[in-house]
Amino acid sequence: MTGPTNPSGARARELRALLNRAAYAYYVLDTPEMEDPVYDRLYRELEQLERLDPSLITPDSPTHRVGGATATGFVSVQHRIPLFSLDNAFNLSELEDWYGRLLRVLEQPPGTALPMVAELKIDGNALALSYEAGVLVRAATRGDGERGEEISANVRTIASLPLRLNLQNPPPWVEVRGEALIPATTFSQINDERQARGESLFANPRNACAGTLRQLDPKVVARRRLDFYAYTLHLPPDWSSPDTTNPNDDPPPPNNQWQALAWLRHAGFRVNPHCALCADLTAIEQFATLWEDKRNQLDYATDGVVVKLNDLNQQEEAGFTQKAPRWAVAMKYAAEEAPSRLLRIEAQVGRTGAVTPVAFFNPVALAGSTVARATLHNADRLAELDLHAGDTIVVRKAGEIIPEVVRVLPELRPAGAVPVTLPSACPECGALLVREVGEAATRCVNSSCPAILRGSLRHWVSKGAMDVDGLGSKLIGQLVDRGLVASIADLYRLDAALLASLERLGEKSATNLMQALAESRNQPWARQLYGLGIRHVGEVNARTLARAFPSAASLAHGARLEPERITAVHGIGAEIAQSLQQWFATEANGRLLADLVKMGLSLATDESSDHPGADPAPGRFAGQCFVLTGTLPTLSRREAQDRIEAAGGRISAAVSRRTDYVVAGAEAGSKLAKAEGLGLKVIDEAGLLNLLQGSAE
């Protein structure tokens, strides 16, 4: 049994894990696992917890970053101007709250009417387009908002997108943001053609569009007939078009969003015709209500209205939070709902042994896709819904991802239907399930459970841990099912010949995987600690603990014999200390650590190393805010961030007067210009390394 816990802290950790996993699946893997309304609800819950208790805020919180990591397989490029996400409003009251905050930021009296632009929120894939001297030179995905994947060859196949701007005297550079999509009628034709060829069908237009943009063959992209709507324009701040009086000449730089849309149309872009210049919130509400009723008549999906302050100077004055502009908001429509018949409940076991009930029901069509399953989270949610076998349930889904069960219709319940509950034994290994006091999760505590092993292996090789490329879920499943791997240490006992004999893994792939496993032995102690999958020890906590305890041996000693040393570490509480104590007290885990050392892993900090896992002057940057921009000569963005955070610094996505240092590399763009305009300290990579080493500025 565990001792008293902080329910808010536990819930915040759970929410961070859920939201970060969903962001990774959505932005990196292109395999969304959580629908938009569910993500929004969890996100807002985390925001509320952090607002009530700021000590819950951590550097890995999704509320304090722009987005998730970029995918692999294409060249990663730095956006000249970041692609920020938008805050959401789910009703008129929340829209009024946003507007009230905007007035306060602009120091306008309550009730002031500011012109705004309302645009349909298209459910597609954001693109960043870069033009130089009027010619398209680069197109990139949104990525993490700071960096994206360069997909210029694919984007050039979009017929509705100009390769050269329709301007006589174009600016030296133009940045355009917009949404790529596959229209619904085109999507139906593509699926009909795929069915005729015996190929698998796409689930929905948005996922098909995302997959198309990441095709390596532009000819395939051209056949998919993508479309594009532009909605944001960025021009050089000191540029002005020649004075002309001819209406057919180039338009001057816009002063507001409405003029920017007209500028984009003139330059040759498709701009969604369903937009409006609104004098006040009443006009915004009328526009949103109109299109909530009419959106099903459109040939593409839209799940709300984007509201933007019209005046560009006022936008600049309002500025940004760490992740979103203050001058814009997405007013989301209510989620679609549909009834279905519950078929069964399956209990699925995760890496930590947590058992998650999943509802399977008759397929229903929602928001352009067919869904047939939904996660029910835990036993409490199961009991709250009061599910019975054969129940008619109501399923909700506003986006294209996995839905949620909203409620049950008990009036339609079959006679004699029995309640649905979690099993008492693990469905994978048969061990008795346990639910500890103060926890929502029911768990299998058998460390030999195949489901726990599969999850542990997936976690060990993940990007944030050992980053072993080529070892996916299917291959891990084969290794476990065939008894070839019984622990993470066994991964390092594999050989290329054995791997090459597995299904869908040839000699070259096997050799590459062996190389990746060999290289993973050199990952720093903080990553190794995170990869062990100890409960409540995430990436940030692992780095913190690795700095305070330079080896597994020292951490084990502290956890078992001196727990006060654990809780004395800033940011590490009693719950984490107790989790570490339990983990290191387990014999099997001690054997695992010894085995990993035999396999060549250090499980310790290399004191002489100069790589990001080393400990550069802890606390040197305490209380200081850094902004990273551009491409550094030798450090990746992740490495630079790790070093700054390891020294106590904080990373921000936006430049402001509260920024202490801007670390600028090649192609630094607008952040560098803003920093220089504010008179902030701008340093390069060498300057950052000097600071880390304690050298003079």
| Catalytic residue ranges | 121
Alpha carbon separation from 517 to 421, 464, 504, 614 (Å, rounded): 41, 15, 19, 21
Dihedral pair phi/psi, residue 262, rounded to 5°: -65, -40
Residue 414 per-residue DSSP state: P
* Cα gap 448→435, rounded to integer Å: 18
> Can you list the positions of beta strands (E) in 411-528?
433-434, 442-444
Instruction: Count Cβ atoms below 10 Å from residue 318 Cβ, excluding itself.
Output: 18
* Cα gap 319→326, rounded to integer Å: 6
Dihedral pair phi/psi, residue 539, rounded to 5°: -60, -45
DSSP of 505-538: --HHHHHHHHHHHHHHTTS-HHHHHHHTT-TT--
Burial class from Cβ neighbours inside 10 Å (0-12, 13-18, 19+) for residue 472 reads: exposed
* Cα gap 268→251, rounded to integer Å: 12
Structural tokens at position 341: 């018949």
Burial class from Cβ neighbours inside 10 Å (0-12, 13-18, 19+) for residue 423 reads: middle
Burial class from Cβ neighbours inside 10 Å (0-12, 13-18, 19+) for residue 500 reads: middle
Dihedral pair phi/psi, residue 41, rounded to 5°: -65, -45
In the Cβ-directed half-sphere of 597, how many Cα atoms lie within 13 Å? 11
Nearest to 179 by CA among 14, 301, 327: 301
574-584 helix and 587-598 helix, angle to the nearest 10 degrees: 80
Dihedral pair phi/psi, residue 96, rounded to 5°: -65, -35
Residue 477 per-residue DSSP state: H
Asked if residue 273 lies in contact with residue 291, where contact means CB atoms within 8 angstroms, the answer is no
